[in-house]
Structure 1
Amino acid sequence: MNVIRHTDANFTERLQQLAAPSSLFDPVIEERARAIVEDVKIRGDAALLELTERFDRAKLTVEQLTVTQAEFLSAAFKADDSLRAAVASASKNIEAFSKKALRKNWSAKNAHGAKVGEKFDPFQRVGIYIPGGTAPLMSTALMTITLARVAGCKEIVVCTPCGPTGEINPGLLYAARLAGATEVYRLGGAQAIAAMAYGTATIKRVQKIFGPGNPYVVAAKRLLFGQVAIDLLPGPSEVLVLADETANSKFATADLLAQAEHGSGHERVWLVTTSGKLLKEVEKEIGLQLPKLSRRDFIQKDLEKNGWLILVKNLDEAIKLTNQLAPEHCEIMARGASKVAEKIVTAGAIFLGSYSPTALGDYVAGPSHTLPTGGAGASFAGLTVDQFQRRTSVVEYDRTSLKKGLTALQKFADVEGLDAHKRSAEIRVEGAKAKTKAGRKI
């Protein structure tokens, strides 16, 4: 891993490297993603088949893009008792957390005495991207699809890449179906995002797209914003461990290695500590723990490129740097962890204390693990169930409340030079004085 200390002569310059643009904003990736998106827009299903063969090495027919009911049944039969139990345990927490966060309709009286409020309706058709690649992310299926179901979305479309033979991991299919997916397509990458955004002969377009993905998936989401609603920009995984001398070096090391193992090569991990002793211990622990891990080659590559052990002067500096980096996951292993957390204002998710590894959030704790990365946490929050709901404001005036609001309305219309706006309200007040043939006011 890369090591920098506040005593280094070039400390400030090296810190700037940490805040350099992530893969989310790589211009080369963006241009390649743009070409894929345009191809799908123009050629539809034909482009999807060619791109799937090129990138996933799977030669499919149009009919094979759609996962069949028979495949769902087969996946369910293959799920053993331990997998079913794990999925059920995670699902229970995710569903309970989501129900607590649902937005509810409300109404109140404004200063004119009129009724105003909001109503929240589920998007009717949503698209969810589930990464495949080197690891079938069943957990992502649960932590996205479940939220859509709890919100009441009627059509939940899932796209996930297949292997060279066209297969999708049965565990992932089982989790997706159980969570509430109504359609699943064996389709990955930027082409999947484009298909859901524009629609093809096989895949109807959706209203909003959710889910994490590799840099090409995230680039496609950025490019298609406006053509379709987008949740956030969750790209390759990140973790920052903020620690003082009380932290357990074995725990901190294990968490850094865990987030580096995803395998895209763009993951980022940081240890930010006030303790030189802890930094040295973590450096040693990496050498002890890494050789025992099955995905050590992926991890090693990522640590060399995007792994940082950083020694800062004090806790205030650690907090300042953490907020600057806006990490996807922030673990706080320090005295007064909850107090420190109050000052962390850009992280996607915060994990307090020595016994809250990020992996709990990845799998079973309850909040969705779909979180902003690449510094996007400074502007975006993580995925929540209310993002599957459309907000609509509702306004209801009667004659009395309209009269109360008329003077202010007239003034705004006069200043803005919009006399038709003013007249649309005045005509109602004038009409209130008229009488119908039956002698009733209108």
Structure 2
Amino acid sequence: MEYLKKAQHLEQTVSNEVEKTVKEIISTVKTERDAGVKKYEERFSKSVRALRVSEEEIEKSVRSLSYDEKALIDRVVERISSFAKAQLECISPLEKEFGPGIHMGHRIVPIEKVGAYIPGGRFPLLSSGPMVVAPAKVAGAKEIVACSPANYEGGIHPAVLYGLVRSGATHIYAIGGAQAIAAMAYGTESVPEVDVIAGPGNRFVAEAKKQVFGKVGIDLIAGPSEVLVFTDDTADPKKCAADLLAQAEHDPYARPIMVSTSRTIAEQTIKEVEQFLKEYFSSDSPAHESWAQMGEVIYARSLEEGLDICNDYAIEHLHVHVKDSRKLMDRLHNYGSLFLDSDSSVVFSDKVSGTNHTLPTLKAARYTGGLWVGNYVKVITHQEITGSGVDFLATHATEQSNIEGLEGHRLSAELRLSDKYLYNI
């Protein structure tokens, strides 16, 4: 492999200062509750408003949207919900006999109280709310607490608010950052305590989720957006460049990466990126810094080498601009979400196709997928032992407990042996 362009910063790490700040925020919110949340809202967001979004505020926001705007968001909610329902249908309960008198299985039980974090960011991302909330609703969560920063005219953007309502949020709060995560994890006078927290956010949100994990469950730690565009000599450099920049505009630390088996396509794509940046992106767009500091273009000398590079990067979005790309799917196994062929734009998934855009970054795709309906259910096991199954298991457990020296275990097992066995108790 050969780098035609190499990133200046290979990864973003959480500084000790961020870790310390988040620890302080969580401690304050645990102790001071609503007052602690309001303290940090005023400090970081300059917000002095009520924490909970009232029904009157929701109704006013909804009225401000046009019919077409609401129809567009409704479509997003419907498609995300439909995909989540199809996924849930794949998770089946189990009830089976594993030998005479040994019945075991599992049930699929919804998480009761879900916390959804919806980032504010530079732009009002209309799909972010439905991406986090709709699968929880499909899973059967009884209570869905949604938090989003009050960074639009002192509140949550009307379109984002409408998406949360349509997706099934039961409580909505204009709270952002680590204080929102702390409030949902530990509860305050206003914010209910939840069982699991899901949703992307900035480095403070990611660090807060990391620190409250254990007290509550979390989906994953998601960093700035990543995309790897894998190409051969059939690729269109303009489409490749556009796909790289679509993710680069999310954040200065976003990682736009290209791996190509064609040096010509790779070099032409670099030129197209530079041209697009001049023509289509404002000077303050994060895309400029992202491409300059984080962008990479790699020439792979063979298809096999290119596939190995893709799997090693374990990227968030893997977009394959290769002829007959579906044939390569079984050879690609480390990615957050896979996009086959040049017209399967990552943007479609970002917005409306139906798969979730909350995905693993920084090589976490080696061991996990993205947010899905399965994050909002528990697979819990059960067993019922009767008849000859009791004798079989009790005999084994007694003998094993003797070897292990666990008297209490031996006692519990041996008491269940039938009368034909000699009790040594």
Q: TM-score range by the shorter chain?
A: over 0.9
Whether contact under 8 Å (1:58, 1:165) holds in the other structure is no
Say which of 171, 189, 200 aligns to 1:183.
171
Q: Which residue does 1:440 correspond to in 2?
A: none
Offset of 1:315 from its aligned partner? Answer: 1.9
2:110 is aligned with 1:127? no
CA distance in 1: counterparts of 2:282 and 2:248, whole angstroms: 9
- Aligned residue for 1:273? 260
Deviation at 1:430, TM superposition (A): 4.6
> CA offset at residue 114 of structure 1?
1.4
Answer whether contact 2:115 2:198 (CA < 8 A) is retained: yes
Would you say the 8 A contact 2:226–2:247 is kept in 1?
A: yes
Q: Distance in 2 between matches of 1:267 and 1:226?
A: 29
1:282 corresponding residue in structure 2: 269
Which structure 1 segments of 5+ residues have no match? 434-442
| Contact 2:394-2:416 within 8 A present in 1 as well | no
Is 1:29 equivalent to 2:18 in the alignment?
yes
CA distance in 2, matches of 1:65, 1:345: 43
> What aligned pairs does 1:6-405 form with structure 2 within 5 A after superposition?
6=2, 20-23=10-13, 25-60=14-49, 64-102=50-88, 103-163=91-151, 165-263=153-251, 265-295=252-282, 297=284, 298-405=286-393
d(CA) in 2 for partners of 1:74, 1:246 = 51
Q: With the length of structure 1 as denominator, give the TM-score of the two structures.
A: 0.89
Deviates more, 1:199-208 or 1:418-427: 418-427
DSSP 3-state at the match of 1:368:
coil
SS at match of 1:128: strand
Output the CA distance in 2 between the equivalents of 1:208 and 1:7.
Answer: 41
What does the per-residue CA deviation read over 1:320-365, in whole Å, with 9 as the maximum and x for residues that have no partner?
Answer: 2222221110000012312323222110000000110101111111
Q: SS at 1:395's partner residue?
A: strand
SS in 2 for 1:65: coil
- Distance in structure 2 (CA, Å) of the matches to 1:7 and 1:166: 46
Counterpart CA distance in 1 for 2:152 and 2:340 is 41
Runs of 4+ in 1 over 6 A off after TM superposition: none
How far apart are the structure 2 equivalents of 1:35 and 1:299? 33
Q: Take 2:276 and 2:11, find their aligned partners in 1: how far apart are those partners?
A: 30
CA deviation profile, 1:45-66 (whole Å, cap 9, x unmatched): 2221121112112223xxx100
Cα offset for 1:210? Answer: 0.3
- Alignment TM-score, normalising by the size of structure 2: 0.93
Structure 1 residues 342 and 29: CA distance shift in structure 2, 3 A: farther
User: Tell me, which stretches of 5 or more residues in structure 2 are unaligned?
Assistant: none
Shift of 1:266: 1.8
Task: Name which of structure 1's ranges 406-415 and 385-394 shifts more when overlaid on structure 2.
Answer: 406-415
Structure 1 residue 219: Cα displacement: 1.1
User: 2: distance between equivalents of 1:360 and 1:77?
Assistant: 27
String of CA shifts for 1:173-219, please: whole Å, max 9, x gaps.
00000000000111111111111111112112110000011111111
Query: What secondary structure sits across from 2:127 in the alignment?
Result: helix
